[in-house]
Amino acid sequence: MSLTVDVKDVAWDLDTILAGRTLDALLDEADALTAQLAEARGTIGAMDATALTAFMKAMAEMEDTLGRAASFASLRFSTDTSDAERGALMQKVQERSTGIETQLLFFELEWAAVDDAQADALLADDRLAFCRHHLASVRRYRDHLLTEPEEKILTEKSVTGRGAWVRLFSELTSAITVELDGETVPLESGLSRLLQPDHEKRRVAAEAVTAALAPGLRTRAFLYNTLLHDKAVNDRLRGYPHWLASWNLAQQASDESVQALVQAVKARYDIPQRWYALKAGLLGLERLADYDRSAPTVDTDQSFDWDEGRELVLDSYASFSPELADLAKQFFDESWIDAPLRPGKRPGAFCSYTVASHHPYVFLNWTSKRNDVLTLAHELGHGVHGALAREQGIFHQSTPLTLAETASVFGETVVFGRLLEQADTPESRLSLLAEHVDGAIATVFRQTAMNQFEEAAHNARRSEGELSVDRFGELWAQTQTEMMGPSVEITEGYRSWWSYIPHFIGTPGYVYAYAYGQLLALSVYKQFEERGAAFVPQYLALLRAGGSDTPDRLAKIVDCDLSDPGFWDGGLVIIDKELAAAEQAAIDAGRVKQ
């Protein structure tokens, strides 16, 4: 039997990142390694495989050292963004890191300038296998690189430019508090109240969130305007043809494939509209309001304490792969998770891989909801993916974001299957199926609608100039309405809810990766359903491969062909079938007529 653990005590131990050194010592060591690497300036084009292998191994050592310092500072800051000392420490690391980056800009520029025949011959040498795909990927930017002095200026100024704005947004949103039921709660807690079964309480919570967002709305709009224009300038200087081109290149995804994904999802906007219409009936409403979208479909507020959530996730993982379950258990046993809500703690959840020579960490804001269990399963999926891919080394551990959600969605789906097995009444089965459809719609269709908001915002900023708060609200309501259709009322207050979403600020273009990953993961999970244990070795091989190859080649490990135009439709059909199952469950539960 597991030892009972209070979630308040579930805090990560970050000291192991430092490996017995101080943060300043890590930075000094990274500086010294950088100085040695910088001696190779002007020689990259003349290097043979032996010399390039030695250089890249030294580069790996430097990136590991610097990555440890950056991970320690950023993870420490995420648990209390109101702490000035933590903020200053993170800023110090960012500034030192930028200095190092500017000293090494020559490498990518010189390597990109190597002619194709010479580069191909070098990459064919097995001694460079540990960084082969990384080096090949660097050359994708050949047409978008500036001169070294220009690159240095952009890099140096990014600390007090884009990087500073992103940090300010994080601090501003982390400080937002919501007044509810006579108490002051963090924004994340206020948003979690939208999961309550009572319509009136959801309405009150939504109005309280809107009120909490109002005071800083103009500031966040100015901040977003600034970053939109900053990206437009960078894209123009680098010759990118549209706002999403640089992100697609970074994710090793063609413009055409991304557009095909978006168009495939938009072509099935009937799925969320059909679901929201059914959900209104299940909730006894004539029509959903935007704050009703995540409401449970039965009058129950199932909660899980930390121990229950942990055991459910680990047992579910074990049903698929004991190896994955053992690895996930380490996150709990060895303090690799930070779970409780705290004042000043950053909203949301994430997994940080840190560096390949160290283990990942999981960050949560646990509110004891059923959705928190699925979030735990999701982030642990990232965690085991990162842990298994550590063997690829620092250059190949991480995947492009287009593949990064595969393990997390897969893990979440496994846990959801266990919850569904435990449902012993028609009502509970309906509730779980509804939650599953809700999740798929939020991940595939809502994120695509968010992509369309970004598309509209970036293009409008470039053609119209600085956008007003009302203009942002108009674009947000327009793209949300396109997805939800007549099934959902967009309230006036909801027009400001774009303003707390960090992806728009920190990683423009990111959101379509959720839809990409979800649809890919659903296809992968379908193979597990059909093939059972025989599929597990292929799946683990995919996770272990990390980002050591292009997404299309990695996907072939699990028999997925991303070049097939019908691939995305296959995942959408799976969601459609789940919706049909939810409709049948509603009939079985007597909630709707056949």
pLDDT tens for 449-498 read 999 999 999 999 999 999 999 999 999 999 999 999 999 999 999 999 99
pLDDT above 80 (res 594): no
Q: Which of 315, 289, 208 is nearest to 488 (CA)?
A: 289
> Which amino acid is present at 154?
L
Q: Which of 288, 253, 286 is nearest to 273 (CA)?
A: 288
| Rounded CA separation 507/246 (Å) | 11
Q: Look up residue 247 and give its DSSP letter.
A: H
Q: Which of 5, 1, 3, 589 is nearest to 304 (CA)?
A: 5
Q: What's the CA dihedral at 512, 112, 160, 29 to 10 degrees? A: 110
CA atoms 461, 464, 470, 475: torsion sign? negative
**DSSP state letters, 536-580:** HHHHHHHHHHTTSS-HHHHHGGGT--TT-TTHHHHHHHHHHHHHH
| Rounded CA separation 212/560 (Å) | 45
State the average pLDDT over residues 342-370: 94
Q: Which of 253, 513, 262, 477 is nearest to 382 (CA)?
A: 513
The answer to whether residues 312 and 418 touch, using CB atoms and an 8 Å cutoff, is: yes
Lowest mean pLDDT among 154-168, 369-383, 467-481: 154-168
What integer pLDDT is reported at residue 580 of this predicted model? 92
Q: Which of 545, 451, 231 is nearest to 553 (CA)?
A: 545
Q: Look up residue 283 and give its DSSP letter.
A: T
List the alpha helices (DSSP H) in 441-566: 447-464, 469-484, 502-506, 512-531, 536-545, 551-555
| Rounded CA separation 247/252 (Å) | 9
Point out which residues pair with 289 in neighbouring strands. 489
Pairing verdict, β 350-352 and 361-366? antiparallel
> Beta-carbon neighbour count of residue 131 at 10 Å?
24
- HEC assignment per residue over 34-88: HHHHHCCCCCHHHCCHHHHHHHHHHHHHHHHHHHHHHHHHHHHHHCCCCCHHHHH
Radius of gyration of the chain (CA): 24
**DSSP state letters, 360-405:** -EEEEEE-SBHHHHHHHHHHHHHHHHHHHGGGG-TTTSSPPHHHHT
pLDDT band of 300, cuts 50, 70, 90: low
Alpha-carbon distances of 356 from 176, 369, 497, 544, rounded to whole Å: 35, 32, 37, 12
| Rounded CA separation 136/120 (Å) | 9
| Rounded CA separation 116/270 (Å) | 47
> Which amino acid is present at 190?
G
State the average pLDDT over residues 530-552: 93
What integer pLDDT is reported at residue 159 of this predicted model? 84
At residue 350, the 3 state secondary structure works out as: strand
Pairing verdict, β 488-489 and 288-289? parallel
> Which amino acid is present at 274?
R
What integer pLDDT is reported at residue 498 of this predicted model? 97
What integer pLDDT is reported at residue 376 of this predicted model? 97
List the alpha helices (DSSP H) in 175-304: 187-192, 199-213, 217-238, 245-250, 255-266, 270-282
Structure tokens at 389: 């891919």
Largest CA distance in the chain: 76
What integer pLDDT is reported at residue 299 of this predicted model? 60
| Rounded CA separation 26/66 (Å) | 7
pLDDT band of 1, cuts 50, 70, 90: very low
What integer pLDDT is reported at residue 259 of this predicted model? 87
User: pLDDT by residue (tens digit) across 209-263?
Assistant: 999 999 999 999 999 999 999 999 999 999 999 999 999 988 888 888 888 889 9
Ranked by mean pLDDT, which of 195-204, 280-289, 451-460 comes out on top?
A: 451-460
At residue 423, the 3 state secondary structure works out as: coil
User: Which structural domains are found in the chain, ordered by start?
Assistant: 12-160 (1.20.140.70), 176-301+400-594 (1.10.1370.20)
Point out which residues pair with 180 in neighbouring strands. 183
At residue 251, the 3 state secondary structure works out as: coil
User: pLDDT by residue (tens digit) across 9-35?
Assistant: 999 999 999 999 999 999 999 999 999
Percentage helix, strand, coil for the chain under 3-state DSSP, each rounded to 5: 70, 5, 25
Q: Which of 403, 503, 489, 492 is nearest to 453 (CA)?
A: 503
* Mean pLDDT, the chain, whole residue set: 92
Alpha-carbon distances of 247 from 128, 235, 309, 458, rounded to whole Å: 27, 11, 36, 13
pLDDT above 60 (res 2): no
What is the distance, to the nearest Å, from the Cα of residue 430 to the centroid of all Cα atoms in its chain?
Answer: 28
Lowest mean pLDDT among 86-90, 147-151, 395-399, 480-484: 147-151
> Which amino acid is present at 590?
G
The answer to whether residues 385 and 360 touch, using CB atoms and an 8 Å cutoff, is: no
Phi, psi of 183 (to 5 degrees): -130, 160
The answer to whether residues 359 and 337 touch, using CB atoms and an 8 Å cutoff, is: no
pLDDT above 70 (res 3): no
